[in-house]
Structures are given as C-alpha cells and as structure tokens.
Amino acid sequence: MTRLVAVALAILLQVMAVMDALAGSKYLPPVTDALTRKACGECHMPFPPGFLPGRSWSALMGGLDDHFGEDAALPPEQAAQIEAYLVQNASNGPNGRGLRDFMRWVAPAGTPQRITENPAFLREHDFPDRVWRDPKVVTKSNCLACHPRADQGWFDD
Amino acid sequence: MTIRALSIIACTALALPLTALAAGAADRDAILVGYARQAKAADSGFTTFSAQRGEALYRNQWGSGDVRTPSCVSCHTADPRQIGRNAKTGRLIEPAAVSSNPQRYTDTATVDKHFARDCKSVIGRDCTPLERGDYITFMQGQ
C-alpha cells in the first residue's frame, strides 16, 4: 500500500513538473521541512528555496540578526539545520529546482538576497502603485496577498 | 459496535479538547509564575501582574522602535481578539487574546522569543519580566 502511494505520488510529481513547464513555470516546490516552515513562517510565508541559489540562502542564514532590518536571530543549531535544508533545495542544490527565467538573471557568483528584485519578478509584477499600496499587500514579498496557493508552491494566479 | 464502546469513544472525543485547554492554561500559569519570580528578583516591592498596565503597554504609541511598528496595535489591531496582520510582511497573525486563541503563551521558548523580538521592534528594547507578565495577564482577560 505504501509502495502504491509512493508510485502514485512520483507519477503525480512528474505530471506536475510537465504541467509546470507547459504553464510557463509557475510552480516551485514549497518548503516541506517542518522546522524551516515554522521558523520562517512565524513572520512571513516560507519562500520556495528554488527562488535563490544556495549561496544566497547561506548569506541570508548567516545574517539573521539583521534580516532586512529585522533581528530574526535563531539558536545556531536551528539556523544551521534550516540553512542545510535551503541549500539542498536551492535552485542549484542537489534536490533543488530553479525557475529558468529567474535564474538566468543571477550572475554565476552573485548572491541576490531579495527575490523581489529579480528582473523576472519585476517583469511579471509591473503594477501601478495603487496595487502595491493595498493594505492587504503591505510589501512586495507578501506573495499570499494575491497568490492564495503560494504557500503550496503555486504562483499561477 | 457495542453501546459501551461507542460511549467510550464519545467520552474520549469530548474530553480531549478539555484536556488540551487545561494543559494550555497550566502551561500559561507556569510561564507567569516564572515571570513573577523574575519580577520579584528585580524589584522586591512587586506584588502581582496587572491587566490594566498590560493594556496600557499594548495600546501605547511608543515610537521608539521600528517606524512601521510604533505600537502592539500596529500588527495585533485595537482588538486583540481579532486576527492581526504583520505590518512589515503582511502575513496574517492569529489573535493575541487567549479567548480567541487558547494556545497563546503556552510554550516558554516561543513566548520568550516573541517578546524579545517584538518588544525590540515596537519599543526599541526588550521587555522586562514585569511588562511580559502584565501583557499576558491583559491577554488572559481578553
């Protein structure tokens, strides 16, 4: 039974990957690690690790005491565990998958920090100011304000 | 299935949430006892926490921390029984009031972490044990 579920799941993931490619890459695997989901999710939706290369996640996790102006420091062993997960699943990680149109803007040795500054993001989010000023949005990194399934990895709506 | 088995299942199902609630309240009390001990150590004149002081702390416009969060109200709204919204990230926040969210203030590590972080953000410094106890006492009555 477990085996059957695993096979079904594998097929489903393949189908999703193909659909994703056809739809213009609007799916990125979400964070599944429980600690990462909890620690990041306390303040913001945990962003899919495939949005950044591993070196960016390492830089972010190494500077949590000034996390975009916020002190988001974690106990060192938790930070290390989360960093390992993010690097594994980063756009260039062994388990990771990046969005091609996102990654082509990232220099081979560049360490971008803000996903929302990627030209691919900006091109898809070229909205008038009033959209960004909506009280439900607050900031460009608030994916869920407009993409209700973003925390499951879907950015197609 | 026998009536006896059914009634056992029914009783267990009913008792579980009650046990969870009781455990939540006991954990919260233990956290308050810890803060009371620290408050007493800092000031021997300390007697009890005050919901009134907690409310004043909650509603005050501090203006000494991050400009986006001058007050607790900035994220948790004027009514802590309502769902709030993180003023920096836009993420929705479960109500701070215990009546709306009985799991609040029941895990020591989470409580300590959030006070340290949020007090720095709102006031520009950590909160004292007295302030932490007052805040939780206010939220218990909300």
pLDDT of res. A22: 46
Angle of CA points A43, A44, A49, to nearest 5°: 125
Per residue in B77-92, pLDDT tens? 999 999 999 999 999 9
Per residue in A36-86, pLDDT tens? 999 999 999 999 999 999 999 999 999 999 999 888 999 999 999 999 999
What per-residue string of b and e applies to A141-153 under the rule 16 or more CB within 10 Å gives b? Answer: bbbbbebeebbeb
Per residue in A106-138, pLDDT tens? 998 899 999 999 999 999 999 999 999 999 999
Q: What are phi and psi of B123, to 5 degrees?
A: -95, -25
Q: Which of B78, B95, B88 is nearest to B120 (CA)?
A: B88
Percent of chain B beyond pLDDT 90? 83
Give yes or no for a contact between B27 and B33, defined as CB atoms under 8 angstroms apart: no
CB contact under 8 A, B85 and A141: no
The token pair at B20 is 């969870």
> Which domains does chain B show, CATH number per domain?
25-140 (1.10.760.10)
A39 and B CB contact within 8 Å: no
Range 37-96 of B in CB contact (< 8 A) with A: 66, 85-91
Beta bridge partners of B93: B84
Amino acid at position A71, single letter: D
Q: Is A6 left (phi over 0), alpha (psi -120 to 50) or beta?
A: alpha
CB contact under 8 A, B90 and A145: yes
Q: What are phi and psi of B92, to 5 degrees?
A: -70, 145
The pTM is what?
0.81
CB contact under 8 A, B86 and A145: no
A139 and B CB contact within 8 Å: yes
* DSSP string of B9-52, one letter each residue: HHHHHHHHHHHHHHHHHHHHHHHHHHHHHHHHHH-TT-----HH
